Amino acid sequence: MNDLNPADLRLVSHSASDGVTTSEFVLGDVTAALWEPEHAEPGTPLVALGHGGGRFRHHPSMTGRARLLTDAGFRAVALDVDGHGPRPRGPEDEKVVAALHAARRAGEPIGPIVEPYNADLARRTVPEWRALLAGLLARPEIGDAPVGFWGITLGTAVGVPLVAEEPLIRAAVFGLFWPSTLLDAARRITVPIEFALQWDDEHIPREGGLALFDAFASTEKSLHVNAGKHMDMPRFEAAGAVRFFERHLCG
Amino acid sequence: MNDLNPADLRLVSHSASDGVTTSEFVLGDVTAALWEPEHAEPGTPLVALGHGGGRFRHHPSMTGRARLLTDAGFRAVALDVDGHGPRPRGPEDEKVVAALHAARRAGEPIGPIVEPYNADLARRTVPEWRALLAGLLARPEIGDAPVGFWGITLGTAVGVPLVAEEPLIRAAVFGLFWPSTLLDAARRITVPIEFALQWDDEHIPREGGLALFDAFASTEKSLHVNAGKHMDMPRFEAAGAVRFFERHLCG
């Protein structure tokens, strides 16, 4: 995985609809989609979208955010995390997914399963994101664009170590994850961040989310808390994330 | 103070500039200003603005928020809290203000002075706000408008008991205050609220702000935390507050 060469990034298809061009890329085993406003200029800010657990690059949560971003003039890109979408699950992945479903059925805490599994997925995915971003920015039609990262749940588990390592990323929106596997990377992040948590999250203890927000070394950081459970994050948070990227990547 | 009659509300002057009409009102000893977009219709949503400690209805923090609101199509109204702006301070007010300045100079905590003093100001101001709002809504050009409240610091000390008592108010933006004098009223508030605190507030302990947010009984509530000290709240929070009122008072 670590020997991915950005120069191997290959455009496999593209289509245009309703003012937005969608391009499908592959890089080794990595499948990715790029959305852009028609006639986007080189240097247009690019937001990397990290999908949630069990989802993939074309899940409505990704295409919906991509649409908000292209409507605001951004490019957006999502990749499929290993074992997600078209990328096959290995036997270890299958074992974890089964354990997760069993814990859910039994009403047991899912953190002890999700945290180490997503840390493992992050180790696989961070080098893939870095190669993909390098490959995209090497394309003249994209050029030297300011880059942001936006992902909650698994997107945060991958995004926090990614943003800690990847100097291309200038601003990030995170949320809805436990602290323990992410604190060290969070302490190395200094770019502006927006972090969202749910006040009545049935999976992630309130104090854990606050501790993760506290750990970011960023001097510009905002926490958005909303009443409600894990899945109840209000839709207006997505519009707020777009405004966050407008403040930090544009102009 | 409690025998203010809304029918005594009197328009003393008005002026128009740059698409906004500013009207000055008096009601007993209470001085107030109303800002409205030219040609605003009856029923246009109205936001009550509570000023901060030591400020008054025409402080830039009030006229700036009023401008954001009228630009978004709202009416806005602010009154002067007793002892503020043109309303004379009594000897008790003077004593507290002197103690506050002494504590600031000595680097001592200001909470033990501000909390009880602002609770006292709230007792004086809540009936004034209620009479003012009743008087304004009785005017046919304003009519039966949805009402919001927006105030931080002293504006929150006054606004929390006001919103707990006044059923006209359907949504409120608060922030930057200690919990102890406000918890009981907060527990009686069920309308949507947005609450802002500063993560590195040198006056208000972090846990205190979180406890106050937690106390609101509202099922729709959002907390916005930003890195920085008491006075460092970013300007984008004001634009966010206007969007909050758009979600809850319009359409």
Burial class (CB in 10 A: 0-12, 13-18, 19+), B244: buried
How far is residue A87's CA from residue A64's CA, in Å, rounded to a whole number? 22
Query: Minimal Cα–Cα distance from B161 to chain A, Å?
Result: 21
ipTM over 0.90: yes
Chain B residue with Cα closest to A225? B223
Residue B248 touches chain A, beta carbons under 8 Å: no
**pLDDT recorded at residue A3:** 82
Residue A229 touches chain B, beta carbons under 8 Å: no
The structure tokens 């809304």 sit at: B6
Query: Minimal Cα–Cα distance from B219 to chain A, Å?
Result: 6
**pLDDT recorded at residue B136:** 98
**Across the A/B interface, how many CB contacts are shorter than 8 Å?**
47
**pLDDT recorded at residue B1:** 47
- Give the bridge partners for B196, in sequence order: B175, B224
**pLDDT recorded at residue B251:** 79
Contact present, A185 and A161 (Cβ < 8 Å)? yes
Q: Which of B9, B15, B3 is nearest to B142 (CA)?
A: B9
The number of beta carbons lying within 10 Å of the beta carbon of residue B139 is 13
> What SS3 state is found at A199?
coil
Residue B15 touches chain A, beta carbons under 8 Å: no
How far is residue B84's CA from residue B72's CA, in Å, rounded to a whole number? 28
Q: Which of A213, A214, A226 sits opposite B222 (nearest CB)?
A: A226
Q: What percent of chain B has pLDDT over 90?
A: 98
b/e B199-230 (16+ beta carbons within 10 angstroms → b): bebebbeeebbbbbbbbbebebbbbbbbbbee
**pLDDT recorded at residue A149:** 98
CA within 13 Å, CB half, B157: 23
B115: part of which helix (H) or strand (E)?
helix B111-137
Contact present, A78 and A57 (Cβ < 8 Å)? yes
Query: Minimal Cα–Cα distance from B218 to chain A, Å?
Result: 8
Q: Letter for the amino acid at B123?
A: R
A105: part of which helix (H) or strand (E)?
helix A91-106
Give 10-residue mean pLDDT values along chain A (251 residues). 86 96 98 97 98 96 98 98 95 94 95 97 98 98 97 98 98 98 98 98 97 98 98 97 98 79
> What SS3 state is found at A194?
strand
- What's the DSSP call for residue A88? P
Q: Which of B181, B203, B198 is nearest to B234 (CA)?
A: B198
- Give the bridge partners for A157, in sequence order: none
> What SS3 state is found at B221?
strand
CA within 13 Å, CB half, B234: 18
Chain A residue with Cα closest to B232? A220
Q: Letter for the amino acid at A17?
A: S
pTM listed for this prediction = 0.94
b/e A203-238 (16+ beta carbons within 10 angstroms → b): bbeeebbbbbbbbbebebbbbbbbbbeeeebbeebb
Contact present, B62 and B150 (Cβ < 8 Å)? no
CA within 13 Å, CB half, B239: 8
May I ask the CATH architecture of the domain A6-249? 3-Layer(aba) Sandwich (3.40)
pLDDT beneath 50: ranges in chain B: 1
- For chain A, the structural domain boundaries read 6-249
Q: Which of B220, B226, B243 sits opposite A222 (nearest CB)?
A: B226
Residue A211 touches chain B, beta carbons under 8 Å: no
